[in-house]
Amino acid sequence: MCFRRSSPLIHSIGPYEGGLRPADSPFEALCEAVAYQQLSGKAAATIYGRFRSLTDESRSLDPLLVSKLSEEQLRGCGLSRAKSAAIQDLSAKTLEGVVPGHASLAPLSDQDIIDRLISVRGIGPWSVKMYLMFRLGRPDVLPQTDLGIRKGVMRTYGLPKMPTPKQVIVLAEDWRPFRTLASWYLWRSLELDQ
């Protein structure tokens, strides 16, 4: 197992520096997740900043206000047509109660939260797992389809080729109940000199 305190990977990276990034609501966190999907951090931050400028940035993101934004306004921020539709659906489902507040989600199991939130257009298991890891602080979440996780596993374990998500799941059994922490180290491992 590569995730013991004495492991070379942990020694090279150092102590965990992550933490929770609070959001006022699941709606706000998932809007940000949609904006960041499949983009570099810098590009996504710019687009999300433009999106937030359409709302009162000093306040929590309001699904009612967002639901009133036109597709043209959303697209003008740099959001794709698909992401604009996802944010509109997220607004509607939040207003309908399908996407509740943190307090209602917190007691649910990880799988129950995933099952509930993937009913929103554009929100898949990866986005929900990021929410579970970095907003709810769930300790045992594994985003096995994440390219960075798969590359990190390949590098850390010295594999000749990229592991499949199923292979990542098998390897990650040894990391329970701290797969979130192991994932953070795998992402960080990609920043190390080779």
Block mean pLDDT (10 aa), the chain, length 194: 63 71 83 86 90 82 94 96 97 96 92 96 93 91 94 94 98 94 91 72
At residue 38, the pLDDT reads 82
pTM beyond cutoff 0.85: no
Q: Name the 3-class secondary structure at 49.
A: helix
At residue 62, the pLDDT reads 92
Own/partner contacts of 39-43, CB < 8 Å, gap of 24 or more, are none
Quick one: CA torsion of 88, 90, 94, 100, rounded to 10 degrees?
-170
Same fold, 26-134 and 142-189: no
| Percent of the chain clearing pLDDT 70 (strictly above) | 91
Question: Where are the alpha helices (H) located in the chain, listed in sequence order?
Answer: 8-13, 26-36, 41-53, 63-67, 71-76, 81-96, 102-105, 110-117, 125-134, 147-156, 165-172, 179-189
At residue 12, the pLDDT reads 78
Quick one: CA torsion of 180, 105, 55, 88, rounded to 10 degrees?
100
At residue 165, the pLDDT reads 98
The domain ranges of the chain are: 26-134, 142-189
Angle, helices 125-134 vs 26-36, to 10°: value is 120
Active-site amino acid positions: 146
At residue 120, the pLDDT reads 96
Q: Tell me: the pLDDT tens digits for 132-185?
A: 998 898 999 999 999 999 999 999 999 999 999 999 999 999 999 999 999 999
Has domain 26-134 been given CATH number 1.10.340.30? Answer: yes
Has domain 142-189 been given CATH number 1.10.1670.40? Answer: yes
At residue 138, the pLDDT reads 93
